Amino acid sequence: MLTAGQAAIVTGASSGIGRAIACALAARGARITLVGRSAAKLHETARAAGPAAQVLTADVTDEDGRARIAAAAGPALGVLVHSAGAHERNGIATLNAASLRRMAAINLEAPLLLTAACLAPLRQGRGQVVFINSSAALRPGYAEVLGYAASKAALRAAADALRAEVNPDGIRVLSVFPGRTDTPMQAAILAAEGRHAGQGALLAPADVAAMVLAALTLPATAEVTEIVLRPMRKL
């Protein structure tokens, strides 16, 4: 259960869903470590989140970066949010090993290895782990998403396995599957498709953050394992 003063780490906090979740956690009194690769963008998030937020520039795919993030957790970690991710457009005809490795590195390996690095403080804090996944893991809704969907589907399975392992320690594990959301990543996807989203056609990052916060604030007697969101209007 989320309480004021708890330590929280949010990766991918530079923009989009990660930024929205960080701000929502800060508003509830959490002490936030904002993780991303762009110091300038992280400082923008810190200004929005308030004085309880600190910036940590790190690459989650790098072992040294993960070690520095884990060190920032302190002795007890209340919330670990994995919002960093990567998308590359490819179908079966254009798929290649390098692209698969890049997406697996950030979408699958990095969140699992960072969770492992933070396991001791998560156990001490009876913390909560949140994986920001994608609706593509459940039902790919557009073409040329093969590698991305595969990495996200694997992350779902890994989260389920993790939950079975750490629930006895009092750690809750949540997977969130947003549909198309108004983020820089989605803007790039739509541009590649030659499409434009009209007003209100996409989820707002704050919509996703609100659902995550609702799950995190549940009493310890309950656990939300998966949340699926989609825009109300079809794009």
Domain coordinates in residue numbering, the chain? 7-229
Class of residue 218 by CB neighbours under 10 A (exposed 0-12, middle 13-18, buried 19+): middle
How many Cα neighbours within 13 Å face the side chain of 23?
21
Regarding pTM above 0.85, the answer is: yes
Architecture of domain 7-229: 3-Layer(aba) Sandwich (3.40)
Mean pLDDT of 45-70: 97
Mean pLDDT of 201-214: 92
Question: What's the N-to-C CA distance of the chain in angstroms?
Answer: 35
What residues are annotated to the active site? 148
Q: What is the pLDDT of residue 141?
A: 65
* Six-digit token string for 193: 């498709």
Query: Is pLDDT of 132 > 90?
Result: yes
Mean pLDDT of 31-37: 97
